A and B are shown apart, each in its own frame.
Chain A
Amino acid sequence: MTPTELEQLQKRAAEALSLRLQKRQVKSNGKPAERVLLICAGGACISCGEAPVWEALEKELVRNNLHDTVHMVQTGCMSACDMGPLVIVRPDNILYQHVKPEDAARIVQQHMLRDEPVTELMYRPHPEADPIPNPDEIPFFSKQVKIVLETCGIIDPENIEEYIAMEGYAALAKAVSAMTPQQVIDEVKASGIRGRGGAGFPTAIKWQMLHNAPGSEKYIICNADEGDPGAFMDRSVLEGDPHRVLEAMALAAYATGASKGFIYVRAEYPLAIRRLQIALEQARRYGLLGRRILGSDFSFGIEIRVGAGAFVCGEETALMASVQGRRGMPRPRPPFPTDSGIHDKPTSINNVETFASIPAIVRRGGKWYAGIGTEKSTGTKVFALAGNVNATGLVEVPMGTTLREIIFEIGGGIPGGKKFKAAQTGGPSGGCIPAEHLDLPLDFDSLQQIGSIVGSGGLVVMDEDSCMVDVAKFFMDFCVDESCGKCPPCRVGTKQIYKTLQKICDGKGSEDDLAILDDLCDVLRSSSLCGLGQTSPNPTMSTLRHFRDEYEAHIKGHKCPAKVCKQLLTYIINLEKCTGCSLCARNCPTDAISRIDGQRKYVIDQDKCIHCGKCHEVCRFAAVAIE
């Protein structure tokens, strides 16, 4: 294929896609109007029942003889994960949420046949509010700026022509036909984009180093070993728009002189792997990968390498070891991968999200991209919004957007009218941000200043019911499991911190333990070999910094203010509410509950109580109080 042929194909393909891209009201005119149903097939929607919905809709359309008039498309993630399964009807542009198979009849008969949208399935900010049919008017969508997720949720990820229709591979065509490799790097440099994998290293500098490295054998690696608990933006991109990543890798290879690429993707992402395989096969068939790409002298091939489930393999040197079939353990740098990587040859490693931003930068210019976000952190960032927040899912916003905007405007605030306590960014390598920093613009530098990081973009919201010591313990537990075991600070230090936190949660902590924690965090941060160890104390350090009073409450007052740490809770039976049903006593594993002599009331022997909470759980009269 030549660039001209690609352009022609783009026009043809865009036409085929036109119905989907239009947003206007349509009316049945004697016969039902032509429509398209976009059905989200992202991970969350699949797990809450996308497949039966698809089947039911298909059956219903066939039954009503509409299967030629109403088209169905399985798209990638639409990002509003807690609304799933999601269906968007175009051109009407109406969003249906929580669609169940039994809703199919209504959607088809009411909407498709009679042009009457089903209001019951539309989004409402709260149960009494008016429904908002147009997704563009829902705050969750309207406040986002989509570059990485530009076509995710619109196109069929298994059809290369749909990606081409959306100007896919146009950037690659532009580069190989009209730009020198240096010009591509310069464009990326002008965009100011920094790596989205966590460290925020300027992408153009990395590429420039690989470009300048001597020799002809060079490698490009896409790091798709997304392992932060709760982060799934890379998976969504790979599942929803795999060609975007392939195109970007080819652009990187062209710019740097690499001839071979690897995508290192974790085995836990089988759908992403399958869609990548389909995409690779299609791209090769269309001459967009392989020998003499788009008729130029540039050749580039990509192979998939499936990781075996080690978090540390997200660290570039461990990843390279794993790609080469060795045990995934990091090694010190220097030498940096751009000097000595795969097979000791120069290698550049970029994250999925970084790659996914590149085609738009090359197509629309680095300047355009630099105009989005802040001065030192340009462009957009995808966050995986989760936890105690009304709307969860993927959120792509310009860098510098405040936490408040993300949580309270896009996310719709905290459910149940509870108070915001902290937001955890960057997963196990990040920190907890307290309410006082809600108006902090989220970018690489500002987060670092308050002891957290952007990281890969996990954003967990916590309300007043979260215990910060417990949160620190949770993340440290993760690091204990995921440490590779190579260097003692990380291998032993994480375990020591975990045990100390466990002690504090159990109410056995002493003031000395806080000093020990500070001390251990310092060793880990300063002495560990790789990023995993160096950043693993961040959750502990940031909670110690912002929530020291909670630690002290555990140690001095033997109380868990959020009532999470069970060992610090006291269960007491409220005699006024107790009916003497004996359910608690029968469920108590340690026989700590006995009947008060001569009364039909029960009491807990605190010496025997192991704080398991079973009595509180089983009591039907709310007679077991927690103090």
Chain B
Amino acid sequence: MKKEDSEIHIFFIFWGPSEAGKTTALEYIYNNVPFLKKGELIKIEDEKGSTMMFDFVPFVILPEDEKSKVQVLFHCYTVPGQEQYSDRRAIVLEQVKYADGFIFVADSQMTRIKDNLESYKELKKLTKKILGKEIGKDLPMVVFINKRDLPNAAPVYLIKKIFDHADAFFETVAPRGIGIIEGFKKISELVLLRLLRELGEEE
């Protein structure tokens, strides 16, 4: 989190193995936020649509109360999921040094269980090394168990077993938006509650 005059900036990162649906999930959220409350969605991708470096979009939450002048900005990022881009994921984490919460997008397919596990292990390692924080302890994380509509989707309990520190799980189908908004609300809630506590302004 970053506080600037009348603005509070909160940073979210979508993490997970390649092709799990990180960009699709972010796009679904983007498409459901009204025009006046979102900035441009910038995507650094190749011709096949794979993220090469990051996606980024800010959302602006205007104060409902006219007297309040505090604006909350949600900055959302994705990382490239492909195994060989570990250096780039580290770079994104270094750049988003104020990261407040993570959305881990897991691929439900039986054949991707190992990839989810490797990606989660890397997330834990990098957050500790770069941010000096631990998933679960210092950083809230929700898991989108994505692609639940596929016939080869692994049982949910099997995917849940991968994560030793997750605040909540959501069964999702990103292109159809199933579970996406709910999951995003949950991570926002977890992060905001933590911040309110830190700021000593808990309601």
Q: Does A pair with B?
A: no
Chain A residues in contact with chain B, CB under 8 A? none
